[in-house]
Structure 1
Amino acid sequence: MNLMIKGIILGCIIVLPGMSGGTVFLIFGIYENMLKDLAKLNIKPYLPLLAGSIIGIFISGMLFALFFESFRDETAVFLMGCLIASIRPVLKPCEKLNLQGILFFLGGLVIGYYMGGEPIGLMVEIEEISWILLMIGGILSSAAMIIPGIPGSSVLIVLGIYDSILYSIKELELFNLIIFGIGSIIGIFLLINILNNIYEKYRSVISYFFAGLILGSSRALLPYSFKPYILLIFAVGFILVWIWSGKQNAPADELQKKDEN
C-alpha cells in the first residue's frame, strides 16, 4: 500500500473522536521511522502521506459536517460513543488505579465538563472563533495525534472547536483552515518530542487526566431529544472504537517491547 493511500485512510480515520493517528502509524509500520525522520526535519518521504491525509480529512470532515447538518442528534451520539470508547486505549498503559489517578481523573472530568460547553448545535452557521484558539487546537491536536492511543480529534472536542473545524472544512473557510494547519505543523515539529517525553515520564497520571477530560467533554455531544434508536447509534460508535482499540494493542505492545529491549 503506497503512502498516498495510507494517508487517505489516516485522514478519514482521525476525524473520528477516539481514533488515534499514532496507532494508525503503528499499524502501518511507519511510526518509529517517521518519528526519527520528523526529528531530523526529513519530511520529503512523507509528502504523499501528508497529501493523502489532507484528502482523507476533507472527505471525512465534509461527510460528518453534512450528517451533523441533516441528522444532528444521530451524528452527535455516534461521535459520543466513539469518544467515550476511546477511554479504553487512553487508560491501557496505566498502572493499578490509586488515589492519585482518581484525583487526576476527577480533575480532568471537571475541566472537561466546563470546557466542553453546551451541546454542539446544528451546523447552519459558524460562530466567530478566535484564531488563537484555532492555532492552539491545531498545535495540541496534531501533537497529541501522533502519540499512540491519544485521539487528536478528542482534543478539539475538549477545546469546544470540533464542530467549528468540521464546518470550516464543509464551507472551505480557508482562513480558519490555514490557521489550524499552521498550528498543526507547529505541533508536529516543535511539540511532539516534548509531549512524547512528558507522556512517557508521567504516562499514568496524564492518561487518567485525559480520560477525565474525554468523559467530561462528551456532554458537548448530548442529543437534544431522546429517541429509543439513539442508544443503538451510540452503541455502534462505541463498539467501533472499542474493537479498533483492541486490535491496535498488538502493534503498540510490540513497539513497547522493542523499545524496552
Structure 2
Amino acid sequence: MHILKLILIGIVLGIANLIPGVSGGTMAAVFGIYDSLIELIGLNVKKIIAMRKFWIPLAIGIASGILIFSKLINRFLELYPLAALWFFMGIIIGSLPFIASQTYKKMQLLGCATGTNVQKDGQTCKPCAFIRYGSAGAVFFAALALMLAMKYANRSQFMHEAQTVLSAALSIKLFICTALAAAAMIIPGISGSFLMVIFGTYNTVIKAVADLNIAILIPVALGAAAGLLGGAAVIRILLKRFPAHTYAAILGLVAGSLAVLYPGLPAHNELILSIVLFVAGSAASYISSRT
C-alpha cells in the first residue's frame, strides 16, 4: 500500500511539473515527502541505496506522470485550462493544515539555550518566544509577498515556438535554463515549468518529451540533474540550520501560490468540472497528509 501511495504521489509530481505555474516542490510539501526528497537528492550513494524503497516507486510515478500524461495534459490544458488549475488549487488548500502543523512543530524545537522557550527555572522565556515567532512570521509574509508579486507576471507573453532540431546554441540554452528551472522546481511555490516559459524553452521541452526527441532531451536531462543537485544542497543546509524558518517560508510560498494559480471563475460546463476537481484535489491531499 505504501509503494502504491508513493507511485501515485510521483504521478502527481510528474504531472505538476508539466504545467506552468504549478510547483513540484509544492506538491512534495503537500504530500509530506519534501524533507525526504531533499535529503535524497545528492551524491551520497549509501543514502541513495538505503532510501531505495522510497525513491524507486516515487521515480516510477514521476516518470509515468511525465511520459504517459504529457500528451494528455497538453490536450486537457487546451480543452479545460481553468479546471486543471482549480484541481491543483484544491490539492494545495487541502495540504495547508498539514504544512502549518509541521511549521508549528519545528517552531517548538527552537528557543533558549535549553532547546525550548523554557528557562532552567521552568519559566517561559517571553523574549525568546517573541523573537522566534516574530522572525518566522516575517519570513512567512516575505515568502507570501513574493508569490503575490509573481501573480502579475504574464505567462502568455513569454510563449515561444517549439524547436525540434538541436544545435550547439540550443544545447547550451537548454542546459542552463533547465538547470535554473530544476533548482527552482524543488522550492515550494516556485514553478520550474513557469521559469521555462519565461526563458522561452517550455514548448521545446514539452514537445520533446511528448515526441521522445532524445537529442533535445539529453541537454535537458543534464541541466535538470545539475540544477537538482545544486538546489537540494542549499535547501538541505537551510533545513538543518533554520528548520522552523525554512518551513515558515514554505508555508508562505505554498499559500501564496494560490494567488498565482487562481485563473478566475470558469464558465458554463467547465465550472462544474472545476468544482468536482477542486473538491477531489482538496480531499485527496488532506487525506494523504494524514496517512
TM-score category, normalised to shorter length: 0.5 to 0.7
1:170-197 deviation digits (Å, cap 9, x = unpaired): 1223344333322332344333242144
Structure 1 vs Structure 2 CA RMSD: 4.3
Distance 1:83 1:64, change over 3 A: same
Aligned to 2:156: 118
After TM superposition, the score normalised by the length of structure 2 is 0.59
Q: Which amino acid aligns with 1:137?
A: A
Q: Secondary structure at the match of 1:202?
A: helix
Partner of 2:184: 140
Structure 1 residue matching 2:45: 3-state secondary structure: coil
Match of 2:87 in 1: 82
SS at match of 1:126: coil
CA offsets, 1:24-61, max 9 Å, x none? 5749xxx7599369562344547854456323420122
Cα distance change of structure 1 residues 240 and 205 upon mapping to structure 2, 3 Å threshold: same
**Maintained 8 Å contact 2:209/2:217:** yes
Conservation of the 8 A alpha-carbon contact between 2:41 and 2:229: no
Aligned partner of 1:217 among 260, 265, 289: 260
Letter in 1 for 2:217: L
- With normalisation by structure 1, the TM-score equals 0.64
Match of 1:61 in 2: 70
Mark the runs of 5 or more structure 1 residues left unpaired by the alignment.
Answer: 145-149, 252-261
Distance 1:207 1:239 in 2: 21
User: In the alignment, what sits opposite 1:168?
Assistant: 208
Alignment of 1:14-25 (within 5 A): 14=13, 15-16=15-16, 17=22, 20-21=27-28
Q: 174-183 or 55-64: which moved more?
A: 174-183
Tell me if 1:186 matches 2:229.
no
- Closer, same or farther: CA 61–194 of 1 in aligned 2, 3 Å: same
Contact 1:18 1:241 (C-alpha < 8 Å) held by counterparts:
no
Larger gyration radius, structure 1 or structure 2: 2
Query: 1:206 Cα shift?
Result: 4.2
Q: Which residue matches 2:12?
A: 13
Distance 1:163 1:185, change over 3 A: closer
Q: Deviation at 1:109? A: 1.2
Amino acid across the alignment from 2:225? I
Letter in 1 for 2:258: L
Task: Label 1:234 to 1:178 Cα distance change in 2 as closer, same or farther (>3 A).
Answer: farther
For 1:118, what is the secondary structure of its paired residue? helix
Identity rate of aligned residues, in percent?
A: 14
Alignment of 1:198-213 (within 5 A): 198=238, 200=243, 201-212=245-256
Which amino acid counterpart does residue 40 of structure 1 have in structure 2? Answer: N
Q: What residue is the counterpart of 1:257 in the other structure?
A: none
Alpha-carbon distance in 2 for matches of 1:229, 1:119: 28
Measured in 2, the distance between the counterparts of 1:171 and 1:202 equals 38
Query: Which residue of structure 1 lines up, in the alignment, with residue 112 of structure 2?
Result: none
User: Does the CA-based 8 Å contact 1:8-1:56 persist in structure 2?
Assistant: no
